[in-house]
Amino acid sequence: MYTVSQLYIYPIKSLGGIAVNEAKITDRGLEFDRRWMLVDNNYQFLTQRKNATMALLSMELHHDHFIVRHKMIEETLKIPFITSNPKTAIATIWDDECLVRFVSNEADEWFSTMLSMQCRLVYMPNQSKRQIEEPFGNDQNITSLSDGYPVLIIGQSSLDELNNRLAEPITIDRFRPNIVFTGGNPHAEDDFTNFTINDASFRGVKASSRCNVITIDQQTGIATAEPLTTLATYRKQHNKVYFGQNLLIGTKGTIAAGQRIEM
């Protein structure tokens, strides 16, 4: 039996995640997940791959806004769910160009100071539709400002297996999952195809290939060789390291921690 144990959203791409007990499943993923991101002066997306300091920016969910907090210096920023800024632009994320809306000058100045580089905070409005890459998706499958897919699922057993091989155990936040579950063997998620949680349905389409972000300690922003080095000894195929399963949305609904995953 598989049971949802943890749920996470990452409202601003590549910043800290927020643990939630319940989440609405929309057509592009968990509600609020990766609907905001930071861009440079050329409107190219920013991630921890190039600026590990982003790991030091954590987020809190409130009734109608988020609070972003720098872990080391306790500087904070309030970001409303709804932005009134009418200015839009085309931002680039990997090979995709997406319509985005600017949030505020205050947010741009705050993030530029915290990250020691000029950047801007942008939001993906509902009219911006980003399709899933072929052959994994079709015209009906869209995602947010994620790396490519709406939802990532990882089994707790997969993390436990990895930690048994590491000299120093790590936590699940290295891998930025949306859904964590208990039960089953390590990497059972590799074989997940069609399944439901409560009234929402999902389809597993592609194992998640991992980059250097998983080597960054999310509490300190410091990178080491692990766990990528160890994962490469038993999770490497075609010159890529895999950990977790990418999902597409079948039926929208609401899911919660403690609910069963029904195959």
Instruction: Give me Rg for the CA atoms of the chain.
Output: 18
Q: Is the pLDDT of residue 186 over 80?
A: yes
Are the beta carbons of 5 and 172 closer than 8 angstroms? no
Q: Is the pLDDT of residue 139 over 80?
A: no
Domain CATH for 91: 2.40.33.20
Instruction: Specify the number of domains making up the chain.
Output: 1
Are the beta carbons of 175 and 214 closer than 8 angstroms? yes
Helix residue spans in 166-254 (DSSP H): 228-231
Which pLDDT belongs to residue 135? 85
Peptide bond preceding 227 in cis form (omega within 30 of 0): yes
Using one digit for the tens of pLDDT, what is the confidence trace for 19-65? Answer: 999 999 999 999 999 999 999 999 999 999 989 999 999 999 999 99
Which pLDDT belongs to residue 138? 79
Q: Report angle CA 42, 44, 45 to the nearest 5 degrees.
A: 145
First to last CA, the chain: 10
Domain around 122: 2-262
